[in-house]
Amino acid sequence: MKTVGIIALSALVLCSSHTFARDDVRAYSIPNIMSSDLAKSKLGTDVSFYFGDQSYGKALKSFGEFKTNKKTNAFGKSDEEACNWVFLSAMIALKERAIKEGGNAVVDIKSNYKNNLTSNPETFQCGAGAVMAGVALTGKVVTLK
């Protein structure tokens, strides 16, 4: 009987590890999250954000390109909920970097999940698993007129 219990427990452990190893990469809407009250309250109006190839006018000064790589607890949340939350964390990091550098905008923002650079003004890439969700972004900090 003890052997059967050990075998059953071993099978459970081996099978459950595949569940936790899930890493689904999907695209989620930038306009949906950026228009939310939460995003507006967290990001404010001090720094402007331009995704992909959105036009932004003339940059008076460039401070360089910066990267974020944020993770969040996804346990008990839908993939979309976790991904929107971690996207907002990445955007806050870009905002803080822009302020630190003396810029007023982050331009050419692109997804960079697992070093797979994708540029789209409408969507960002997010990897979500059973326990964690992650978003990585790159963007150039500039001063605009």
In tens, the pLDDT along 95-112 reads: 999 999 999 999 999 999
81-92: b or e for each residue (b if 16 or more CB lie within 10 Å)? ebbbbbbbbbbe
- For the chain, helix (H) and strand (E) counts, in that order, are 4, 7
> pTM (2 decimals)?
0.85
pLDDT bin (cut points 50, 70, 90) of residue 30 is very high
Tell me the two tokens of residue 51. 């995704």
Domains of the chain and CATH, by start: 23-144 (3.30.110.70)
Instruction: Decide if pLDDT at 19 tops 50.
Output: no
Side-chain-side CA neighbours of residue 139 (13 Å): 34
DSSP state letter for 53 = T
